[in-house]
Structure 1
Amino acid sequence: MRQDDRLYMISMVCRLLNVHPQTVRLYEREGFIKPKRIKRQRVYTDEDIERLNFVIKLTKEFGVNRAGVDIILRMRERMQIMEQFIQELLRYVDEDIKEQIEKRIKKIFEEI
């Protein structure tokens, strides 16, 4: 949790997502979300709310069962990790290409 994260109480989360507190607690028990606790009080970040909203859409709008939600969430996390890896790889390739271009330009100017 970052210092600048906004935190929400369960009542606000329920209002934002139009769900009952028991639904939020159920998804927590299922392991779909892991809210932080401050003095035993659940608090949710924007990321928690986004994830919870995604779970609600999967279950209510698309009829995905809990096992399906679990699989989809794990796949989504793996995709995010892969995306980060690809971005890092692209940065490395970009830096390598720039370095090669600079060497070629330097070599051209040395030959002039």
Structure 2
Amino acid sequence: MAEDERNKPLYMISVAAELTGMHPQTLRVYESKGLVNPKRSGGNTRLYSRADIERLELINQLTDEGINLAGVVRILDMKERAEERERENERLRTRVRELEDEVAEYKVQKKITALVPRGGSADPEQVLRGLLGGGI
């Protein structure tokens, strides 16, 4: 599911409570403690996204395992930081691939430049032979 779709505010508090198996008052408490931050409609109605529902399900799982809310806050913070690092790593991997492609292109250009005599035109067959290692 695309990130925009996951963050689209869709569910009123009663639906979010039903989807997560939590009481609406629990959702209000979690919001007041900053564990979840639903968007608001023009009429100030809480609207939960799919991402909010997933977060609430994780909170529910963690508290069911005996982790208190302070621990949940720390776990969620670490999870968010790890996800951000992974996104940054992916951006860096993409940039490295781009740079590797540029370096490969420069190397080809350097080979071509080395094969073309200065001040004159080169025999295309000779240039091609030089690039392919004399294999034609």
Percent identity over paired residues:
39
State the aligned residue count: 110
Match of 1:103 in 2: 106
Q: CA deviation at 1:6?
A: 4.7
2:40 paired with 1:69: no
Match of 2:8 in 1: 5
Stretches of structure 2 lacking an aligned partner (at least 5 in a row): 116-129, 131-136
Q: 1:26 aligns with which of 19, 26, 29?
A: 29
Q: What is the rounded CA distance, in whole Å, between the counterparts of 1:53 and 1:108 in structure 2?
A: 58
Q: CA deviation at 1:74?
A: 0.9
Q: CA deviation at 1:107?
A: 2.9
Q: What is the rounded CA distance, in whole Å, between the counterparts of 1:28 and 1:97 in structure 2?
A: 46
Match of 1:87 in 2: 90
Q: CA deviation at 1:71?
A: 0.6
Q: What is the rounded CA distance, in whole Å, between the counterparts of 1:74 and 1:17 in structure 2?
A: 21
Q: CA deviation at 1:108?
A: 3.2
Q: CA deviation at 1:19?
A: 1.4
Conserved 8 A contact 2:38-2:48 = yes
Conserved 8 A contact 2:31-2:37 = yes
Match of 1:53 in 2: 57
Which of 1 and 2 has greater Rg? 2
CA RMSD of aligned residues (A): 1.8
Letter matched to residue 88 of structure 1:
R
